[in-house]
């Protein structure tokens, strides 16, 4: 006697498939329990205790323009000399914020997320970024977009980490999610100097063909190192019609 499985067109199939997924998840949770990326405590990808003790950037003393820590009075990151070095006459974003400093702990969150494929961390990271979005940014209709990974990085990881962050952030901030950019000739940035990164990024961001660009946007990335990729994204989006472009990253180097 053969036991036939219900065909995927059977009316009960969605319920059976959902039950199967729940069962598989329960088995996986038993064999490989969810553990905190930082302290290994079971139960969550980032436990509440670790989430509370991250090196958060103090928004009151950070630069109100670029989000650099301690830049409120005098910013060493977005002054004219730094901008000129990156090939810009003026700050290309309306403003930018970052949530945490890039330290050994926060770097571990980022690398576990994007290089070890722990995609559930996108939810934790986006929840943290969402708290740093000034309410006035979101007061009017504001869409959430992202700095796209290179095609090579996307292939290597199997997903685009910033895309996932943007999707999660749009959920946390109740904003429209808008994929708008691609990075067609974007070389791997990791081996480049600061100056090379700036030039490379500025040349290599373009709006997707046929995309309709909202007037007001937040562009998301995981880490802000020189600001070059956020600057390039903002420049491309402005050229395609965006009037207001903010930047938001989880960490800041």
Residues in the chain, overall count = 253
What residues form DSSP beta bridges with 216? 244
Min separation Cβ 189 and Zn ion, Å: 21
Contacting Zn ion within 6-65 (CB under 5 A): 36, 38-39, 41, 47, 50, 63, 65
Min separation Cβ 61 and Zn ion, Å: 12
Nearest to 250 by CA among 151, 178, 164, 181: 164
71 binds Zn ion, rule: CB under 5 A: yes
Q: Which is nearer to Zn ion, 12 or 73 (CB)?
A: 73
Min separation Cβ 224 and Zn ion, Å: 11
Nearest to 194 by CA among 239, 234, 231: 231
Strand ordering across the sheet containing 95-101: 95-101, 244-252, 216-224, 143-146, 176-177
Taking 3-state DSSP, the helix, strand and coil percentages for the chain, each rounded to the nearest 5, stand at 40, 15, 45
Distance CA 172, CA 149 (A): 22
Contacting Zn ion within 76-105 (CB under 5 A): 77-78
Min separation Cβ 253 and Zn ion, Å: 14
Distance CA 108, CA 231 (A): 25
Min separation Cβ 55 and Zn ion, Å: 14
68 binds Zn ion, rule: CB under 5 A: yes
Cα 180 to chain center, whole Å?
Answer: 14
228 binds Zn ion, rule: CB under 5 A: no
What residues form DSSP beta bridges with 143? 176, 217
Q: Which is nearer to Zn ion, 66 or 180 (CB)?
A: 66
Angle between helices 161-172 and 121-130 (to 10 degrees): 50
Min separation Cβ 174 and Zn ion, Å: 28
147 binds Zn ion, rule: CB under 5 A: no
Tokens 């995609």, residue?
Answer: 119
Interface residue with Zn ion, options 54, 62, 66, 228 (CB under 5 A): 66
Q: Which is nearer to Zn ion, 75 or 178 (CB)?
A: 75
How many residues in the shown chain lie near Zn ion by CB under 5 A? 14
Min separation Cβ 195 and Zn ion, Å: 19
75 binds Zn ion, rule: CB under 5 A: yes
Angle between helices 104-114 and 121-130 (to 10 degrees): 130
| Binding stretches for Zn ion (CB under 5 A) | 36, 38-39, 41, 47, 50, 63, 65-66, 68, 71, 75, 77-78
């Amino acid at each position: 006697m053969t036991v036939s499985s219900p065909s995927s067109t059977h009316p009960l199939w969605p319920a059976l498939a959902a039950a199967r997924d729940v069962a598989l998840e329960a088995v996986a949770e038993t064999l490989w329990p969810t553990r905190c990326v930082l302290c290994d405590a079971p139960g969550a990808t980032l436990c509440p205790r670790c989430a509370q003790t991250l090196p958060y950037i103090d928004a009151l003393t950070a630069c109100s323009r670029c989000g650099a820590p301690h830049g409120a009075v005098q910013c060493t990151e977005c002054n004219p000399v730094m901008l000129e070095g990156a090939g810009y006459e003026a700050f290309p974003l309306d403003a930018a914020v970052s949530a945490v400093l890039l330290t050994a702990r926060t770097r571990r969150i980022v690398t576990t997320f994007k290089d070890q494929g722990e995609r559930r961390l996108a939810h934790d990271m986006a929840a943290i970024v969402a708290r740093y979005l000034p309410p006035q940014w979101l007061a009017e209709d504001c869409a959430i977009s992202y700095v796209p990974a290179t095609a090579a990085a996307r292939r290597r990881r199997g997903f685009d980490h910033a895309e996932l962050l943007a999707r999660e952030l749009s959920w946390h901030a109740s904003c429209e999610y808008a994929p708008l950019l691609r990075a067609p000739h974007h070389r791997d940035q990791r081996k480049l100097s600061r100056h090379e990164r700036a030039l490379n990024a500025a040349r290599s961001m373009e709006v997707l063909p046929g995309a309709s660009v909202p007037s007001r946007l937040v562009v998301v990335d995981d880490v802000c190192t020189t600001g070059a990729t956020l600057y390039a994204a903002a420049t491309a989006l402005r050229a395609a019609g965006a009037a207001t472009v903010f930047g938001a990253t989880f960490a800041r180097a």
